[in-house]
Structure 1
């Protein structure tokens, strides 16, 4: 084997993780924009898988997914949370990046155009109802990100939606 083949075999044997990115959009009242996927139960944030094999970064992925899913081309703001979500029997671990999408104006909401291949609807949800719509790690991740926005603190480091340290 050549050193190139050895390196390729080494890389092929390394652990794999998935990477996702989303944007946290709010209205003037602080409600969070959620989307309803048609491919699974429950609600989500605008976002999805980072196309890392194509050289996409998490920030670029959040922007692309927002444009694809709801038709808004918004440059993501600061990184609010990074969440390591442990793997399951069905999937490897996931690293989820959550960016500030900002406060949208009424005209922005009127301009939303859902990606019909993936989404059924959207809604604005107040903080106290978020975990009913976003159970598990995602709900905790969104609450941690909202806390970062309120406190002005740095990016939240999370594991399964819970703060580390």
Structure 2
């Protein structure tokens, strides 16, 4: 078997990357996509263009710049989540710290109208009501890591992986 055939036969995994941006009051920035039928909101982020050689960190930065018009270097990796889903390969979701946005950055937000309807800042406790359950668990775990100042947390479907404490 040649190398290309071998690679083509390997299991497939999708990858996504997002960013948690906060304001000075600790609220997090969430966006309302127009492509979700369940009404759930998300964090700025999207697909890692791995076929183009893009890393998760590069994708998080590119997606945030495309979606909300802010080109901010992501900070620390907060969470990595192995997300299973029906009808698709597993997704590895990387979640980075976007830092605290100042008033000028918040005023400069410009939505990518092809994908997003609106954005808002919400208290972390209230954010869970906007997300689907998996995203809510992922964000909760990432915020816990951010508060504790510890390293990234490994998740499976939004839950800490076996042996991992958050």
Q: TM-score, normalised by structure 2?
A: 0.94
Give, in whole Å, the separation in 2 of the partners of 1:144 and 1:63: 21
| Selected match of 1:10 from 6, 9, 14 | 6
Q: 2:34 corresponds to which residue?
A: 38
Give, in whole Å, the separation in 2 of the partners of 1:125 and 1:157: 25
Which consecutive unaligned segments of at least 5 residues does structure 1 have? Answer: none
Q: CA deviation at 1:10?
A: 1.3
| DSSP 3-state at the match of 1:113 | coil
Give, in whole Å, the separation in 1 of the partners of 2:84 and 2:117: 28
Q: CA deviation at 1:87?
A: 3.0
Q: CA deviation at 1:154?
A: 1.0
Give, in whole Å, the separation in 1 of the partners of 2:85 and 2:7: 20
Q: How many residues align?
A: 160
1:74-113 superposed matches below 5 A: 74-89=72-87, 91-113=88-110
Root-mean-square deviation (Å)? 0.9
| DSSP 3-state at the match of 1:141 | helix
Which consecutive unaligned segments of at least 5 residues does structure 2 have? Answer: none
Q: Does 1:51 align with 2:34?
A: no
Q: CA deviation at 1:143?
A: 0.7
| DSSP 3-state at the match of 1:133 | coil
| Selected match of 1:121 from 118, 129, 134 | 118
Q: 2:65 corresponds to which residue?
A: 67
Which consecutive segments of 4 or more residues in structure 1 shift more than 6 A?
none
